[in-house]
């Protein structure tokens, strides 16, 4: 599928899960999307295993930009991300404006902090299912759950289904706007 013209934000912070950042970045670039990495500040962030990613923008700079999608990876990075008001605001604004927000594993914590999952079908790491349920979502233990403009997955093994759902959702936006 051709995603040229689509602009996707990948949120990053220290202790991210390597595959949950890089697999979607490469998959979306392969489809023609532009991917911008966003952290609390521009600069280098290290994964759980020490693999670096460089944030292109800081979250405060990125707040005014209209991304077609926002992706929140897992690892323990989301626990750090949700302490940054600008990063949480990016997620909340994207969801409330109808843009695609995709979160995998512990990334669903950002949906809790953005207060956007009450009554929505969501999945995430089984380790945070109580947090998700307490935030009012309907937790489903599936490889990918799509509920409107929110796409969620549980773990790295779910990345093929997760990325397929993201690409499909973004491609559907192309079709809707062309019609």
Task: Please give the positions annotated as active site.
Answer: 106
Three-point CA angle 154, 160, 161, nearest 5°: 65
Tokens coding 43: 């600069």
* CA–CA dist 124, 110 (Å, integer): 11
Strands, E, within the chain: which ranges?
Answer: 7-11, 34-39, 43-46, 52-55, 57-58, 69-72, 100-104, 121-122, 138-139, 145-147, 150-153
Tokens coding 145: 């759950």
* CA–CA dist 58, 124 (Å, integer): 25
């Amino acid at each position: 599928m051709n995603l040229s013209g689509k602009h996707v934000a990948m949120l990053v912070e220290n202790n991210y899960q390597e595959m949950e950042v890089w697999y979607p970045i490469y998959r979306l670039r392969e489809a023609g999307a532009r991917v911008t990495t966003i952290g609390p500040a521009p600069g280098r962030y290290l994964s759980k295993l020490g693999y670096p990613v460089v944030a292109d923008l800081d979250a405060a700079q990125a707040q005014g930009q209209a991304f077609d999608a926002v992706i929140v990876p897992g690892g323990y990075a989301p626990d750090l991300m949700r302490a940054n008001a600008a990063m949480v605001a990016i997620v909340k604004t994207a969801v409330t404006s109808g843009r695609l927000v995709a979160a995998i594993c512990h990334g669903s914590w950002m949906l809790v902090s953005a207060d956007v999952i009450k009554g929505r079908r969501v999945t995430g790491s089984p380790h945070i299912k109580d947090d998700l349920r307490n935030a009012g979502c309907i937790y489903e233990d599936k490889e990918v759950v799509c509920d409107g403009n929110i796409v969620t997955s549980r773990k790295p093994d779910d990345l093929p289904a997760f990325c397929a759902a993201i690409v499909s959702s973004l491609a559907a936006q192309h079709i809707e706007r062309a019609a």
